[in-house]
Structure 1
Amino acid sequence: MWFDSWPDLVRIAVVGAAGYATLLIVLRISGKRTLAQLNVFDFVVTVALGSIFATLLLNTDVSWSEGLVAFAVIAALQFIVAGVTARWPAARKIVTSSPILLLSDGVMRHDALKRSRLTKSEVRQAIRGSGAGGVADIKCVVLETNGKLSVIPVDKYGDGSALVDIEL
């Protein structure tokens, strides 16, 4: 159907504007973590918020107040899980992955690449993206918990203390 009625369109515009404002407020209250680079847990929260917003816009059986409660529940759960994982490392391991060393002293770690489902080409791409021209110039490449590849050149390695939580 191309068109149902004007009241339906007006409802979408009004509830959409109110839902959008509510979502912005909930995201602002829930903190920067919700908007940071996403790990799996943050991605699930983001998808859930988007799904709630879409349902609120398009399903006439869902009121704005129900959408508000749904937004608040997801934000509260995100806040609780973030707090628990910050206090207990065992909980953090359940919710997020560990960073993985993919390259060390210019040598690719094939077992880590295979486990992470990455290719040598993707690691070399990250190295090029860092501005380095040679694998030998790189001390290590780490697959971070958010999926980003961190490239540490030999001359920036320092004492290596930033790598203490890396899965070998």
Structure 2
Amino acid sequence: MDAVLFNGWGPLGRTLLVGVLAYAALIFILRLSGKRTLAKMNAFDLVVTVAIGSTLATIVLNKSVALAEGTLALALLVAMQYGVSWSSTRWPALRRLVTGEPRLLLRHGVMLDDALRDTRITREEVRAALRAAGVARVDAAAAVVLETDGSFSVIADEPEGEASSLHGLR
């Protein structure tokens, strides 16, 4: 029967050694790949960040995964994320496929019911975003946007024309 509370000093030593080395490898890989790797600019980036964390935990805790294999898995995830983000800056069709597009949920104080339904966002969630941004009245907001990372952006007043951050949103 396996020990529930203590399995011996060997497994603790392995966890300590592999944990430190895997962490160092991850920091090295992330420094090579650049800040964009963990930027969480959209849902794809969030998924990669979670996958990196899960892979690190597997390396540290799963005896059947060697440090070299785990480090390769980390490098592969980071390289794939780098490749997809690099490609999506060059090909708009790939960018739309991977990241989606921001969605306008409220415009000039009016909730856009079709957009709310399509994005499965409730009016109360939009009101909560307004409150979090310090906007007391719904009709005082120029816009609320559901961003590609799932966060809300609240625009209190909107300049007209091309300078608007809302330009091009549907």
Name 2:66's counterpart in structure 1. Answer: 63
Name 1:84's counterpart in structure 2. Answer: 87
Offset of 1:49 from its aligned partner? 0.9
- Report if the CA contact (8 A) 2:105-2:144 is conserved: yes
User: In the superposition, relative to structure 1, how do residues 158 and 29 fare at CA in structure 2: closer, same or farther (>3 Å)?
Assistant: farther
- Report if the CA contact (8 A) 1:139-1:157 is conserved: no
Root-mean-square deviation (Å): 1.5
Name 2:159's counterpart in structure 1. Answer: 157
SS at match of 1:163: coil
Aligned sequence identity (%): 46
Tell me whether 1:127 sits opposite 2:136 in the alignment: no
- Report if the CA contact (8 A) 1:141-1:149 is conserved: yes
Equivalent residues in 2 for 1:108-127, closer than 5 Å:
108-127=111-130
| Separation (CA, whole Å) in 1 of partners of 2:125 and 2:159 | 21
Name 2:147's counterpart in structure 1. Answer: 144
Name 1:39's counterpart in structure 2. Answer: 42
Instruction: Spell out, residue by residue over 1:102-155, the C-alpha distance to the aligned partner (whole angstroms, 9 max, x if none).
Output: 00111000111111111111111111222221112111111111111111112x
Instruction: Spell out, residue by residue over 1:73-92, the C-alpha distance to the aligned partner (whole angstroms, 9 max, x if none).
Output: 11110110001111011001
- Report if the CA contact (8 A) 1:99-1:165 is conserved: no
Normalising by structure 2, report the TM-score.
Answer: 0.90
For structure 1, the 5+ residue unaligned runs are none
Normalising by structure 1, report the TM-score.
Answer: 0.91
For structure 2, the 5+ residue unaligned runs are none
Select the residue among 12, 15, 24 that pairs with 1:21: 24
Moved over 6 A (4+): none
